[in-house]
Amino acid sequence: MTQHVCVIDDEASIREAIEQFLGLCGFTVQTFERADVCLAQLPTDYPGVVVTDVRMPGMDGMALLAELQARDPGLPVILLTGHGDVPMAVAAIRSGAYDFIEKPFDPEQLTRALHRALEKRTLVLENRQLHQRADQHSALQARLLGVSPALGELRQRLLAMAGLPVNVLIRGETGAGKELVARCLHDFSPRAKGPFVALNCAAIPEALFEAELFGHEAGAFTGAHGKRVGKLEFASGGTLFLDEIESLPLAHQAKLLRVLQERHIERLGANQSIEVNLRIVAATKPDLLDEARAGRFREDLVYRLNVAELQLPPLRQRREDIPLLFEHFARHAAEGAGLTSAPLGPLQLAALLAHDWPGNVRELANAAQRHALGLGAVAPAAVEGGSLAAQAEAFEAHCLRAALSRHKGEIKAVMHELQLPRRTLNEKMQRHGLAREAFLA
């Protein structure tokens, strides 16, 4: 593992001596003459240790320590002090400095202090990453609702992909939530502060597609009265979501491929090349390689778009999520209308679980809204489709989840309510992917 050390000292001879010795000991050393320059260049979550002299012109070591403590209290700072600075250094340790070494110092003393500080820094950063992942997982659970194993796996894969600097292809049926997943990929990525720009490739007339993607200068074509920034340029620094990418005309596929290869665009009617820094998230229902074999899509573009792939499970493959999603959509619709959503009865719940939901989450949201507003049945033709075993499994999973939620994961209370022995309850929870920890208060 790389051992990073940042050294600040206004004396060039001391900087060079420390850099040479630590370099021979296997450290990666970066040196600065001025504390303010170091502070401006030190990255967030710097994976190393800062070693600084105390007495320097401009910002001194104590002021630097205070700034670093305010920015990251877990960053180890070692002070190099003259004899007269020892009382001040002791006070600094009480304020958060990791250690101090009195000049002239034994180089071995410095390396020992650095190794201890680096071990601490590694633990701090690992713990910070674990907390960050837990926070992200909780936030994603609130966005992608569901308790099914299929959705849990999707959330894990999404978080793993969000931080990678690669294009992503989302595959899923109509209404499965492809745009929501694309938005989550953006919001949980380092590009979250940049723009998220969505474009439905099937909704743009072919004659206008190039101008929509690349933008144009004034007078580039009839009707182009002013300059317009295209979606590719507007999304620079963030994410461009191309929905129904299979509808992109072949002529424009070649132009998009060139942008992905060169990372530059030219507006229509302009000669100036503009650099773009963006991530493409594309969504499709059909298999793009099948489309390529049929001559409707460029195979080389498929490989540019599909560096990573997310497959969204249809609602019929995660029936455990149906009651939770329905309640969420119904409550939201009722609150918007100033109403109270009526609870589902056993027959209505059975109808929900039996329906095949060809329109997926979009169809379910529509049914929940109509139910909340008193405008229709829970699920049209709900009693058709789905085997008895599948319906029974889904209903059992719902009952278990509801009981665990009511009792906040208290197993004895769930056993008493459902009249199940501990071993049977454990087996059923394991089969349905229900963990007690997920329901704890």
- Output the pLDDT for position 133: 74
- CB-CB contact of 56 with 34 (8 Å): yes
CA distance 295 to 282: 19
- Output the pLDDT for position 131: 77
412 CB burial (10 A radius; 0-12, 13-18, 19+): exposed
Q: How far is CA 386 from the centre of its chain?
A: 35
The stretch 160-178 carries a mean pLDDT of 95
The stretch 301-319 carries a mean pLDDT of 94
Confidence of residue 382 (pLDDT cuts 50, 70, 90): very low
Q: Read off the pLDDT of residues 276-304 as tens digits, 9 standing for 90 and up.
A: 999 999 999 999 999 999 999 999 999 99
- Output the pLDDT for position 380: 52
Supply the pTM of this predicted model.
Answer: 0.67
- CB-CB contact of 49 with 110 (8 Å): no
Q: Read off the pLDDT of residues 118-130 as tens digits, 9 standing for 90 and up.
A: 999 999 988 887 7
Common-topology check for domains 3-127 and 144-313 = yes
Q: Read off the pLDDT of residues 322-355 as tens digits, 9 standing for 90 and up.
A: 988 999 999 999 999 998 878 777 778 888 887 8
**CA 162 → CA 54, 135, 187, 204, 283, distances in Å?**
42, 14, 8, 28, 15
The stretch 257-270 carries a mean pLDDT of 90
Pick the CATH number of 144-313 from 3.50.50.60, 3.40.50.720, 2.60.120.10, 3.40.50.300: 3.40.50.300
CA distance 317 to 195: 33
- Output the pLDDT for position 391: 67
- Output the pLDDT for position 383: 42
How high is the mean pLDDT of the chain? Answer: 88
Burial readout 318-341 (b: 16 or more C-beta within 10 A, e: otherwise): bbbbbbbbbbbbbeebbeeeeeeb
The stretch 305-325 carries a mean pLDDT of 93
The stretch 97-102 carries a mean pLDDT of 89
- Output the pLDDT for position 387: 67
Angle, vertex CA 115, rays to CA 109 and CA 119, nearest 5:
150
> In the chain, what are the domain boundaries?
3-127, 144-313, 316-439
Dihedrals φ, ψ of 115, to 5°?
A: -60, -45
Sequential DSSP letters for 139-150: HHHHHS---SHH
- Output the pLDDT for position 110: 92
* CA-wise closest residue to 279 among 167, 159, 164: 167
Residue 226 has pLDDT above 80, yes or no: no
- Output the pLDDT for position 436: 85
The stretch 259-280 carries a mean pLDDT of 90
| Strand spans (E) along 177-273 | 196-200, 215-216, 228-229, 239-243, 264-265
Tell me the Ramachandran region of residue 132: left when phi exceeds 0, alpha when psi lies from -120 to 50, beta otherwise: alpha
- Output the pLDDT for position 29: 93
3-state SS string for 5-31: EEEECCCHHHHHHHHHHHHHCCEEEEE
CATH topology for 3-127?
A: Rossmann fold (3.40.50)
Of residues 47 and 83, more confidently modeled: 47
- Output the pLDDT for position 222: 67
Residue 381 has pLDDT above 50, yes or no: no
Angle, vertex CA 249, rays to CA 243 and CA 255, nearest 5:
90
Residue 237 has pLDDT above 80, yes or no: yes
> Tokens 């250690």 appear where?
99
Cis amide bond preceding 73, omega within 30: no
- Output the pLDDT for position 223: 67
Bridge-based pairing of strands 196-200 and 239-243 is: parallel
The stretch 41-50 carries a mean pLDDT of 92
CA distance 31 to 5: 8
Confidence of residue 96 (pLDDT cuts 50, 70, 90): confident
